Amino acid sequence: MAKIVIDPVTRIEGHLRVEVEVDNGKVVDAWTTSTLFRGLEMIVENRPWMDAWHYTHRVCGVCPTPHGMNSAMSLEDAAGIKIPENARLMRNLLECAQLLHDHVLWFYVLNGLDYVDVVSALSAKTTSAELKAVQARLKAFVDSGQLGFLENGYWGHPAYKLDPELNLQLTAHYLESIRIQAIASEASAVFGGKFPYHMSTPPGGYSTVPHQDQLDRFEFKCREVAAFIDGALLPDLLAIAPFYLDEAAVGSGHGNYFSWGVLDQDFATGDPYKRLFPRGALIGALDGALTVQQIDQEHDVREWVTSSWNTQYEGGLHPWEGRTGPDFVGTEGIKDIDRSGRYAWEKSAHLKEVPTEVGPLAQILMAYVSGGADHPAKKLVDDTLKALGHPGEPKVLMSNLGRIAARVLKVKIVADKTFEYLAQLRANMAAGNMDFYTPVPDKPTGRGFSGWDAPRGSLAHWCTLEDGTVRRYQIITPSTWNFSPRATANKIRGPVEQALIGTPVADPKRPLEVLRTLHSFDP
């Protein structure tokens, strides 16, 4: 029995420690430890209600936009505010730019080097002047001795399967993706004023009327990103996948999935079951039928602190009743964990009484099953399954390979829809509809909720307002779902802990396979 500790897990946004036990070349148990206490909920409490969305933007620097959206929408719900259709379109466009930035960044920079051996690219034979230039850049980089992102990689690991030429092509796209994701960030800044932490979607809608130059600049930037997705990202997925079909048998987890939904399609009401990626849950999907269930957030969502360094309370509580506060009982520097006790800052979020995976795979599954025959996910998923040699078998996606494919398919759908939303906004404005904002009350009282998915999965904010002051605030991030530590009296594993079970490990000193499962969740 070998014990492997990865601390910190790198190439991620955030702080994560993972401990696994390996027996006979496979992971037999796992513990995920979030090593950072955020506590934004505590910072927001007792502040003026219109300040909350500024603060909660800062929960994440990679995916700030959906935090701002959720905060504004939960505050609107508490204050009884209905926003105009144009405001929904603007929020869609800002979210699209965020997703274009995030998913391109994730595929190449945060996940790609688990499958692309950059050092191997140095031995590639190519007649392409462009690829030769990339190869020369790499060689100069390596010869300098300042290896940077190449330092401490598991280069030459037997789990790498691409030939040098394909490794070189993917490395070239890796370098280009850095420029492309920056362009998507610039698109966000066109409407948002800046990125991250845009300034333009407070409670009430969208804060200005966009002018034609903004619309044109946003479209120009998004079209460049969309061209990269069509010309590089999608072909790269199809080029890599045949070499890594064994990843379709790794990382299945519990088989429970859910999404709050994201990107409104019903611009009048914002019905979450009519979103581009609709709200819904698949429980027991690995062994049962793919039947999407609706979600009652008041009855179906509970947070546990069984294994958390959080202020303790009995049982699982709904976020409107839950409490957030540090109660650290671990070892200094988290050098070791109490496997049978409390070992993570993260709480444990459960949906319908079970740990549930969230993210692009869940979003694509909901769209595929409940989005209708005309939903773009239907054809993309069917074509992908056929290309992978598993036609008509969507359960194959419930794996590491499926999570990678789902992010790519999702960003393709988002890229195409961006221009539809933009065209609808242009048409509204051309028809004289310049309504982007609903005035808000000074001192509202009420409880509010918003579920609107982030790039990493299901994100929701809950608030309680009294006379314009935030009295209670709770957030459940995608990490709280996916990286939940053990919970309930049965100490049931969280989704990632369960997904790690069965992961093959060829060399415990170089646990590349473990990182693949972890990175597939985009921690």
Reported as a single tens digit per residue, the pLDDT across 451-462 is 999 999 999 999
DSSP assignment of 208-267, as one string? SPPPHHHHHHHHHHHHHHHHHIIIIIHHHHHHHGGGGGGGGGS--TT--EEE--BS-S-T
Distance CA 13, CA 60 (A): 8
pLDDT per residue as tens digits for the range 15-32: 899 999 999 999 999 999
Which segment of 103-112, 239-248, 333-342 scores lowest on mean pLDDT?
Answer: 333-342
pLDDT per residue as tens digits for the range 483-518: 999 998 899 999 999 999 999 999 999 999 999 999
For position 489, what pLDDT does the model report? 85
pLDDT per residue as tens digits for the range 30-60: 999 999 898 999 999 999 999 999 999 999 8
For position 445, what pLDDT does the model report? 98
| Single-letter amino acid code for the residue at 249 | A
HSE value, Cβ hemisphere, 13 Å, CA-based, for 104? 33
pLDDT per residue as tens digits for the range 275-294: 999 999 999 999 988 999 99
| Res 102 pLDDT > 90 | yes
User: pLDDT band at residue 146, thresholds of 50, 70 and 90?
Assistant: confident
Q: How far is the CA of 298 from the CAs of 257, 274, 478, 480, in angstroms?
A: 18, 20, 18, 17
| Single-letter amino acid code for the residue at 6 | I
308 Cβ contact partners less than 8 Å away, ≥ 6 residues apart: 342, 344, 345, 346, 347, 348, 485
Distance CA 9, CA 73 (A): 33
For position 519, what pLDDT does the model report? 97
For position 422, what pLDDT does the model report? 98
∠ CA 234-258-348, rounded to 5°: 115
Distance CA 339, CA 333 (A): 16
For position 434, what pLDDT does the model report? 97
Element spanning 166, H or E: helix 164-192
Q: Would you call the peptide bond into 485 cis, given omega within 30 degrees of 0 as the criterion?
A: no
User: Nearest-CA neighbor of 53 among 84, 78, 80?
Assistant: 78
Contact (CB, 8 A) for 285 and 257: yes
- Mean pLDDT of all residues in 236-248: 96
Which segment of 9-13, 458-462, 476-480 scores lowest on mean pLDDT?
Answer: 9-13
| Res 333 pLDDT > 90 | no
Mean pLDDT of the chain: 95
Element spanning 305, H or E: none
The distance from CA 294 to its chain's CA centroid, rounded to whole angstroms, is: 21
Q: What is the pTM of this model?
A: 0.97
| Res 473 pLDDT > 90 | yes
| Res 14 pLDDT > 80 | no
Name the phi and psi angles at 17, rounded to 5: -120, 135
Distance CA 473, CA 444 (A): 15
Distance CA 452, CA 445 (A): 22
| Single-letter amino acid code for the residue at 140 | A
For position 92, what pLDDT does the model report? 98
In the chain, domain spans: 2-520
pLDDT per residue as tens digits for the range 77-91: 999 999 999 999 999
pLDDT per residue as tens digits for the range 399-446: 999 999 999 999 999 999 999 999 999 999 999 999 999 999 999 999
| Res 13 pLDDT > 80 | no
Sign, CA dihedral 172-410-239-399, equals: positive
For residue 335, give the DSSP letter: -
**Could you report how far apart the first and last alpha carbons of the chain are, in Å?**
27
CATH topology of domain 2-520: Cytochrome-c3 Hydrogenase; chain B (1.10.645)
For position 320, what pLDDT does the model report? 94
pLDDT per residue as tens digits for the range 363-381: 999 999 999 999 999 999 9
